[in-house]
Amino acid sequence: MSNHYTEPSNLTLLGYRMFYDPLRARYLRGLVASLQLDGTERVLDFGSGPGSEATYLARALDRGGRVTCLYVSPIWLGGARRRLRRFDNVDFLLGEASAVALPAATFDVVLAHYVLHDVDGAALTDSLGALSNTLRPGGRFVVVEPIGAQHGLGADELGSLMDAAGLSERSREVVHPPFGSATRAVYRTFWPPSSF
């Protein structure tokens, strides 16, 4: 099982916190606002990196909701832990989505922000299956993938992977983070039928 990730130095973590994330603060706030959370939900942030989007999720989940950061790298997850230490509604899970014990039918939203293209082959199929299982019936799986020939999953590939994981597409749009463009697609579990 191989993944495209490198363990960051402390300087990289600091760079995210001091420069990269402030530059995309408006975008990240908009991303979380677009989820239209009422504050009570359970959200799984798959591939949470240093806690960039989780910071805004933790703020938005202010009526008893919780965010769970899931990441395969102990160093990135350690950075997220430090950054999010002032919040009491954040949990941290270390490991592959298919290997950690994710509770079944629990999360209202799974968010995969700029992550899926970094997970290779069988690991991606297994992870999507596990993430789909952890969604409650009618829950949403929100994917944001960069657009580009060398970067990001193609629409067809993403569609068939999500289909195989038991998820059907409900919307798709192009969004514009500070660097490049991305596809934002929302999927739901097949059953029960849900209005969107």
| Orientation of helix 52-60 relative to helix 25-33, angle to 10° | 50
Chain positions 41 to 80 lying near ligand SAM, rule: CB under 6 A, are: 47-49, 52-53, 71-73
Q: Give the Cα-Cα-Cα angle 15, 21, 57 (nearest 5 degrees).
A: 130
The least CB distance from residue 27 to ligand SAM, in Å, is: 10
Judged by CB under 6 A, the number of residues near ligand SAM is 20
- Across 53-134, the runs of DSSP E, i.e. the strands, are 66-71, 90-94, 107-113
Amino acid at 84: L
Chain-centre distance for alpha carbon 175: 16
- Whichever of 78 and 138 has its CB closer to ligand SAM, that residue is 78
**x/- map, 125-164, ligand SAM, by CB under 6 A:** --x-------------------------------------
Q: Does 123 bind ligand SAM (CB under 6 A)?
A: yes
Q: Which of 196, 192, 144 is nearest to 166 (CA)?
A: 192
**x/- map, 82-121, ligand SAM, by CB under 6 A:** --------------xx---------------xxx--xx--
The least CB distance from residue 192 to ligand SAM, in Å, is: 29
- Give me the numbers of helices (H) and strands (E) for the chain, helices first please: 7, 7
- Tokens found for residue 35: 């989820």
- Which residues of the shown chain bind ligand SAM in the complex (CB under 6 A)? 3-5, 47-49, 52-53, 71-73, 96-97, 113-115, 118-119, 123, 127
